Structure 1
Amino acid sequence: MSMRQAREHLFKILFESDSNSVLPINIIYDYINRDENIIKKEYMDFIVKYSEEISANIDEIDKTIDINMRGWDINRIGVVDRVLLRISTYEILYDIIPQNISINEVVELAKIYGEEKSYEFINGVLANIIKFKKSN
């Protein structure tokens, strides 16, 4: 499993969590119970850490997204877009990985799981977030 696959599992877990109003850690346990080999142990720490950190900082992450969507509200966009924006915004705000890598990863996931133009929307919002972060 590559980091891209681990990130895809993270996306699926956060998507299910958001869709069903269930804590991500419960979804992770469900994944493990379904098939303990579905997520390699080496990536489990990454998935657990990210899901916990995003959940713990959701208010700041969502506020940052809202400010930079211009005319949209975080609760009015699709779950796919919302979850992908949360993952990358978390990475950008807390300098987890280089911004261009974060954006590229979520844009690629948006091309797979999002609507036809989701990746363009996500790319634009994340570009605004980077500008916002630099100015503050």
Structure 2
Amino acid sequence: MGMSESETKTSEAGKASESSRVRGRKRHGSRYKARRRAAEVLYEAEVRDVDPVAIVEDRISLSYHQDLGVAPVAAYTKEIVAGAAQELDRIDGLIAANLAENWELDRISAVDRAILRVAVWELIFNEDVPVATAVVEGVELVSQYSTDVAPAYVNALLDSIAQNIEKHRAEPTEAPMEEPLEQEDSADDTMEVAVEDSSATATDEDRIVPESTPE
């Protein structure tokens, strides 16, 4: 038995609405997902006061166990986290210097700090990424995971740094820390991670960056 005219119109309207939602949903590439996960790691490292590089190594180890559901860590995520950790003082100095007057770095949310650290690292230390791309992707991340007011000030801050990009890139970088010759293994050095890993699965597009409520 065929549908009535009203049922047909309702069905067509539903299909059109669903099609519109699919078209409106932005699909993010692997680089964006790597940035997002790097921001997650930097956020967690600050909140828990642990080494972000150790978190990445722990995630890599956990990802080998399929039953835990921990997604593999992209090489670019690892690169961002290691670079941002090494240059954290310089990155934070640039962020602080370009905040609005009477604002300090510790006054912005931890989520915003993590995303800004990713974006500033890309701006200064990864010349393979176009300046405009680093700015746009940083703004996109805060648009998804921070407050409504964050995109405007993050865009202004990153644009301010970008305007003096050659000067900032010419400044000396931190010398990499030498690895100790010997290091004792300790059970206390292995971070305990719940099965609910802070990382996204390969198909999880809309998970919020922080594990806990942002500041």
Q: Give the TM-score taking structure 1 as reference length.
A: 0.86
Counterpart in the other structure of 1:62: 92
The answer on whether the counterparts of 1:13 and 1:27 sit within 8 Å (CA) in structure 2 is: yes
Structure 2: which 5+ residue stretches go unaligned?
1-28, 65-69, 169-215
Superimposed CA distance per residue, residues 11-60 of structure 1 (whole angstroms, 9 cap, x where no aligned partner): 111111111111112222343354445025xx2x2122211111111111
The amino acid that maps onto 2:99 is M
Residue 93 to residue 108, structure 1, CA distance change in 2 (3 Å):
same
SS of residue matched to 1:69: coil
Superposed CA RMSD in Å reads 2.0
Pairing 1:82–2:110 present: no
SS of residue matched to 1:12: helix
Matches of 2:166 and 2:99 in 1, distance apart? 17
The answer on whether the counterparts of 2:40 and 2:114 sit within 8 Å (CA) in structure 1 is: no
Q: Which protein has the bigger helix share? A: 1
Pairing 1:4–2:36 present: no
Instruction: Report which structure shows greater RCO (CA 8 Å, sep ≥6).
Output: 2
How far off its partner does 1:4 sit? 1.3
Structure 1: which 5+ residue stretches go unaligned?
none
In the alignment, which of 25, 39, 47 is matched to residue 19 of structure 1? 47
The answer on whether the counterparts of 1:6 and 1:39 sit within 8 Å (CA) in structure 2 is: no
Q: Which runs of 4+ in 1 moved over 4 A?
A: none
Q: Give the TM-score taking structure 2 as reference length.
A: 0.56
Matches of 1:134 and 1:57 in 2, distance apart? 17
- What is the aligned-residue identity percentage? 25
